[in-house]
Chain A
Amino acid sequence: MLEARLQTAALLKKILEAVKELITDANFDCSDNGIALQAMDNSHVALVAMLLRQEGFEPYRCDRTLALGVNLVSLSKVLRSAGNEDIVTLKADSSNDTLSLTFENPDNDRISEYELKLMDIDSEHLGIPDTTYDAVVSMSSAEFARICRDLQVLSDSVQIDVTKEGIKFAAKGELGNGAVTLKQAANVDKEDESTVIELNRNCSLNFSLKYLNNFTKATPLSSRVTLSMSSEVPLLVEYKMETGYIRYYLAPKIGDDV
């Protein structure tokens, strides 16, 4: 039995926006710890791991673990009928094959109730090993989204080089080349916009811009994004939320000039 009350529907809406283009169906794994989701995209190139800790809900009750198989497109459609400020209550029961959603407006004079059919999803859980990354770059999420969008004009893939001076995103394509470099801690006054690099070793890796652009759908969830990289290891793109996170893992491309 799950009962979870979320203060604003906006958070859930943003989370759905952030994952629904990458994956269509996923299990929401509910436990006393909170609600988690892990799924790979269809071509098994990227993996999304989302966690909403129980502290984010008031109240939160989950007496036994539940896997709620949800079609994310349907859920996002239902969520469209909720106002951003609405309070959302999620309810599910192991004996039932539906997820019930209740939206209450802030004035508490309008209540809407929806039931979403659940589905059996054969999910493949991957074990994500603890990794000490060669480079961990924390930067503005809006800046990251802009770079990915700008470079997509030139190429399908981007080469990311991290040195102690900064992080460089470079794309080579048929119509020309382009590169954006962000210098470390250039904006000390504006903490939100600064670029902070923790470096063990320089690294240079190639990634698909299509996927990176997909990840930036999570930008509204956090003003900061962290890119963690090591060679031969999937890139970790993390958006931290107050009581949880969305992590995207992306397998590198085999670069021809690395």
Chain B
Amino acid sequence: MSFEDSDNEVDQKVGSPSDATSTRPPSGTNAPLLKSYTYATPLPTDLKPDQECILGVDEAGRGPVLGPMVYGICYCPIDRQDELKTMGFADSKTLKEDERDSLLDVIVSRPDMIGWSVRVLSPMDISNSMLRQEKYNLNALAHDTTIQLIRDTLDKGVNIREVYVDTVGPPETYQKKLEGLFPKIAKITVAKKADSKYPIVSAASICAKVTRDDVLRHWIFAEEGIKDTISREFGSGYPSDPKTVQWLKKNMDPVFGYPNIVRFSWGTCKTLLDASGTAVRWPNEDEEDQRRISTLFNRTEKDASELAEQKRQYSTFIAKTPPRPVPQLMQDMGLKSVIDF
């Protein structure tokens, strides 16, 4: 494909009806990011059945306290991997934002040869995973997400021969784990800084990084009441960014903490909440082994009949008023009312 061809591709995209998103990567979202999602391109158009491919995996946004964490995979036929090098893929972190954006444009302009997908993990899902009772740490989340992306690609019928994975944890055990899970893949390489060593990982890294930047830049707050008024000066999201820290300090609600752009499980966040949040005492917190007397004694007959009467009155009242809709935020966050009348 010549340079002109790829230009045409871009032109076509600009002229397409979805004009508003034309400068944005296709993997972004126009809805509030509450649930994690996966974006995947169709198979490369020139890919022949059973043609051997290499696949790279990288992540973006592991460190920040704000916004999603994104896993990207990128694949192309083995015999065309040299073409990637000529396209200029390098470590995404050493590139400037517009350089990265233009490299994603390069990837997008080659649907004949390159396929890719990203999984965008919402801050809410990250926090929930890390804070739930049986802790699910970031590494486990990283591994499971990567495995899922590879599996999805295999399920589409791509014949993956080689996989290159960038990791922050110890590469050896991770590599063994992947080799055990994907015995049919001939070569699996897990390495630190793989994105600077392997162009395919570098490409995957671009997909992940550009997607993360886009989601964060166009972040849509789901929280009613603050969504249009809250400051967007949250910076890069890294805890080392003074702008981010400033934003976190200014936008804390003493009871509810932060909107869902924030990863509550981060140390930065916990420190700030401990320092200026209002402490909530949960009656059961430190008395888990203490039984309630109200469960050991029964409510008296008289009270039971009174309760039944109240219930009856309440239900006739209910019948006259239409059921109240569940607030959108409660729906989005999977909350439900547990008070039983």
Hey, which bits of chain A sit against chain B, CB under 8 A?
40, 42-47, 124-129, 206, 208, 232-234, 249-256
Contact = CB atoms under 8 A, between A and B. Distances in A.
Interface string B297-322: 11111110000000000000000000
Main secondary structure of the interface of B (DSSP, over half): mixed
A124 B291 contact: no
Nearest to A38: B300
Contact of A124 (B289, B295, B299): B299
Contact of A127 (B283, B289, B290, B299): B299
Contacts of B303: 124-125
Interface string B265-306: 000000000000000000100010111111111111111000
B296 A44 contact: no
In the A-B complex, the 3 residue pairs with the smallest Cβ-Cβ separation, listed nearest first, are: A251-B291, A126-B297, A127-B300
Contacts of A47: 293, 297
Contacts of B301: 127
A126 B287 contact: no
B296 A234 contact: yes
Contacts of B289: 206, 253-256
A252 B291 contact: yes
Nearest to A256: B289
A126 B294 contact: yes
A254 B297 contact: no
Given A124-B303, A125-B302, A44 B297 contact: no
B307 to A, nearest CB: 9
24 contacts: A43-B292, A44-B293, A44-B294, A45-B287, A45-B290, A45-B291, A45-B292, A47-B293, A47-B297, A124-B303, A125-B299, A126-B299, A127-B298, A127-B300, A208-B290, A233-B296, A234-B296, A234-B297, A251-B290, A251-B291, A251-B295, A251-B296, A253-B289, A254-B291
A47 to B, nearest CB: 5
Nearest to A123: B303
A200 to B, nearest CB: 19
Contacts of A44: 292-294
A129 B293 contact: no
A241 B303 CA distance: 29
B37 to A, nearest CB: 42
A233 B291 CA distance: 10
Contacts of A125: 299-300, 302-303
A255 B291 CA distance: 11
Given A43-B283, A47-B297, 13 more contacts: A42-B283, A45-B290, A124-B299, A125-B302, A126-B294, A126-B297, A128-B297, A129-B298, A232-B296, A233-B296, A234-B297, A251-B291, A251-B292
A234 B294 CA distance: 10
A255 B290 CA distance: 9
A42 B290 CA distance: 14
A126 B290 contact: no
Considering residues A46, A129, A208, A251, which has the most beta carbons from chain B within 10 angstroms of its beta carbon? Answer: A251
A125 B294 CA distance: 10
A192 B287 CA distance: 35
A126 B303 CA distance: 9
Nearest to A43: B283
B305 to A, nearest CB: 12
Nearest to B292: A44
A47 B296 CA distance: 11
B293 A45 contact: yes
A124 B293 contact: no
A253 to B, nearest CB: 5
B299 A249 contact: no
A124 B300 CA distance: 9
Nearest to A232: B296
Considering residues B291, B293, B303, which has the most beta carbons from chain A within 10 angstroms of its beta carbon? Answer: B293
Nearest to B284: A43
Contacts of A208: 287, 290
A44 B299 CA distance: 13
Contacts of B294: 40, 44, 124, 126
A256 B302 CA distance: 37
A43 B303 CA distance: 20
A115 B287 CA distance: 39
A42 B287 CA distance: 13
Considering residues B287, B292, B296, which has the most beta carbons from chain A within 10 angstroms of its beta carbon? Answer: B296
A42 B283 CA distance: 9
Given A43-B283, A124-B303, A125-B303, A253 B291 contact: yes
A208 B297 CA distance: 18
Contacts of A206: 289
A122 to B, nearest CB: 10
A134 B296 CA distance: 17
B297 A250 contact: no
Nearest to B298: A127
B290 A253 contact: yes
B2 to A, nearest CB: 75
